[in-house]
Structure 1
Amino acid sequence: MDNAGSNQDKGNGKYAGKFPKIAQQTRLLNILVIFAVIYTLYLAKSLLVPLFFSAFVALLLSPLVAFARKLFIPRTLSAGALIVLLVAPFTFLGIELAEPAERWMQSLPKIAAEISKEIEEISSNIDAYATPPAEPVEKERSFFSWFGDDEKSPELSPPQDNTNSVTDKIKQSGIDIGLTLFGNAPFLLAQVLACIVLIFFLLVFGPNLFNVFVRDFPIVTNKRRTLVLVDQIQRELSSYIVTISIINSCLGLATAGVFYYLGIDDALLWGALVALMNFVPYLGGVASCVVLLVVGLVQFGLTSSAFLPAGLFLVLNIIESQLITPAVLGRSMQLNPLIIIIWIAITGWLWGVVGVLLAVPILMCFKIILENLGVFDHWIRLLESK
């Protein structure tokens, strides 16, 4: 018995040292997999961004296509009609906003020059008060200068070159923004057209592909639970996206209406801009305030009225974010603000502006999936913590 026990202890001691190494190798492998996924997401962003955006829109419109199918309307007709109804308002809005948007794009260098001029005047005034007057500096006398008849006046120190590099950067940044937007316009238009085509095919052929995947692929073990789970995720995420879209649209309309009543130029353009930026929580409101502050400076100059557009939007945004949105969405759809900002920074670094807009819907999708699967409760509590 003792020999057997000693042999067992020797066996345990033989393998005891291997388990920590295996655990370390597993952790290292997980880290490498995470970095590989991040690199793939960054490298394939031109492919993944249209796919994710189209998937979210198709997810939003899929219940309507399914309802039309129950009324014996073919998927092709219902999907085409829904896409027309979706694209037509945005096309009309784009046509209406094209002229003022182009005018502002062309005036960006002029606006940057005016702002830089104001900065130069302010900095020169500060320098005039802060810098003491230059004292006369006498020339160094040599031995033969004592015998000179003409007495020359002392020379002043040469004025220093106080060119402000900040103004040059502002001018250059304004030109760069305009060139970048105009340069990326064809690529952006191509991506929009590709998304429209992809949304149509997802609405028409996506449900059949999903049913075949669930029915025939062995990786899906519990087929009934998978169908119920996907249907629940679809309904909750669609409800979230529709609710947020309605709230942001109402905020944009309210902003445009108040601006139009007060005589602020291009009120519809700024209403559409704040509605779009409000899809980015917290940071979108800050960016809208900065843009509207520049708008006020351009229209009213350096007066107290320049703060009117940004101040009015700030009041509307506080009412929306602190009263309306929490009351409509409720506790189940709330996320921790710090996690939202960190996640927006990550998706913005990976996928740019579209990643910033898709950040919160993707995070909500993860949260809904975890809730319906009943796993990782600690992550759900972390996402909802306040």
Structure 2
Amino acid sequence: MKQQTKLERAVLILALFGLSIALLYFGKPFLVPFALGGLLAMLLTKLCEHLERFKMPRGVAALIALLGFVLIVAGVLTLLGWQLAGFSENMDELQHRAAEVVAQFRAWLQDSVGIDQQQQQKMVEQPASSAGATGSVLMDFASGTMSIAVDTILVLVYTFLFITFRRQLKNFVLLLVPVDKRNETTKVLHESASVAQHYLGGLSKMIVALWIMYGLGFSVLGVENAIFFAVFCGLMEIIPFVGNLIGTSFTVLAVAVQGGDSRMILGVIGVYLFVQFIQTYLLEPLVVGNEVRINPLFTIVGLVLGELIWGVGGMVLAIPLLGILLIVFDHVPSLKPYAYLIGSYKEKKKK
């Protein structure tokens, strides 16, 4: 009887897990902006509380904090647009150099791998007509731009409402639990908000530090549009492990296309290694800290599952959401084994 009960419980857990994954996947259009708005509200709550100490109404404080965040993001995007203007001015030269790099790569494939030019051409041919493909690309671009605009507005609206009604939302959660559990629930809510605030705030400071280091390094090397690549590499840090590799790989390819020699390419790689050393052993312990105690295995698992379910937004949300889940698991006795599984705990040495 006990074995049957354990089997039924295991099947129920698997069914609930599968149902949760399905709900997360099909609920992506609603859940991703909702979760981003919640995390952004946690980041801005401390600023709002500081403004409210000056007898400022909560709605006004939330609006000021949100406008400040929007202005910062707009400034970064303006800087990127200004740097991208340099690319458009030299687009013909870049296309010529890119064609040379592609030609050299195709020649290397033929000489080293044995794939001749005709086979390479068949691999890249598209069955659709050029007119139809162009129309499809334009429609996809317009649809994607509209979707991003709508999601951005939703995130800002959710953020404002979360900040404004945070006390009501907290009281709602407390009403759902028994009276004797409310102190523990309040502690969980405060710790979850603290983890999100420290992680996102520390990550923001670290990105700014990366902009400075990458900008100085790339400028010294003489990389064209060094500020653009520095900002891009820094922003990619929001995706742990994967983002910095993507940013640096893109920079190396761009330097090669721009006609940079081997010394410049090795210099870019050297700057990346130096910045990663500073980031790992100095910036992360001092700025980000150890608030999110997720072990490396489940950090990777979270990133992969986040990308599969929610795309790029899932990769951005994976780590802070796992950190919040870890706190919840750690305060529920029946879920403590799962907190131990995904958390980063030092094993005690046996005497």
Are 1:251 and 2:210 an aligned pair? yes
Candidates 125, 139, 164, aligned match of 2:120: 164
Decide which moves more: 31-40 or 253-262.
Answer: 253-262
TM-score, length basis structure 1: 0.75
List gaps (5 residues or longer) in structure 2. 347-351
1:118 equivalent in alignment to 2:104? yes
Question: How far apart are the structure 2 equivalents of 1:332 and 1:277?
Answer: 21
Q: Does residue 191 of the first structure (1) align with residue 151 of the second (2)?
A: yes
The equivalences for 1:84-123 within 5 A come to: 84-101=67-84, 113-123=99-109
C-alpha deviations, 1:88-126, integer Å up to 9, x for none? 011122123125447769889777644421212223444
- Do the aligned residues in 2 keep the contact of 1:300 with 1:306 (CA within 8 Å)? no
| Structure 1 unpaired stretches of 5+ | 1-17, 132-159
Q: Which residue of 2 aligns with 1:202?
A: 162
One of 51, 54, 57 as aligned partner of 1:71: 54
Counterpart of 1:271 (choices 225, 230, 237) is 230
Match of residue 45 from structure 2: 62
Residue 257 of structure 2: SS of its match in structure 1?
A: helix
Which of the pair has the greater relative contact order for Cα pairs under 8 Å at 6+ separation? 2
Aligned-partner Cα distance in 2 for 1:366–1:234: 12
Does the alignment pair 1:335 with 2:294?
Answer: yes
* Residue pair 2:329, 2:335 contacting (<8 A) in 1 also: yes
Residue number in structure 2 paired with 1:139: none
Contact 1:57 1:199 in 2 (8 A): yes
Code of the aligned partner of 2:8: Q
1:7 is matched with none
Aligned twin of 1:21? 4
Q: Computing the radius of gyration over CA atoms, which structure comes out larger, 1 or 2?
A: 1
Deviations, residues 231-271 of structure 1 (Å, cap 9, x unaligned): 23322331222112211221122212322343322222222
Could you tell me how far 1:327 is from its partner in structure 2?
4.7
Distance 1:208 1:187 in 2: 30
Give the alignment partner of residue 289 of structure 1, picking from 241, 248, 251: 248
Question: How much does 1:303 deviate?
Answer: 3.5
Q: Distance in 2 between matches of 1:85 and 1:285?
A: 27
The percentage of aligned residue pairs carrying the same residue is 19
SS of 2:322 mapped into structure 1: helix
CA offsets 1:125-157 (integer angstroms, 9 cap, x no match): 448xx89xxxxxxxxxxxxxxxxxxxxxxxxxx
Paired position in structure 1 for 2:349? none
TM-score, with normalisation over the residues of structure 2? 0.82
SS at match of 2:165: helix
1:58-94: per-residue Cα shift (whole Å, max 9, x none)? 0111233233333311011111110111110111221
* Equivalent pairs, count: 334
CA RMSD of aligned residues (A): 3.3
1:366 equivalent in alignment to 2:349: no
Confirm or deny that 1:322 pairs with 2:281. Answer: yes
The residue identity in structure 1 corresponding to 2:280 is: S
For 2:45 and 2:105, how far apart are their aligned partners in 1? 53
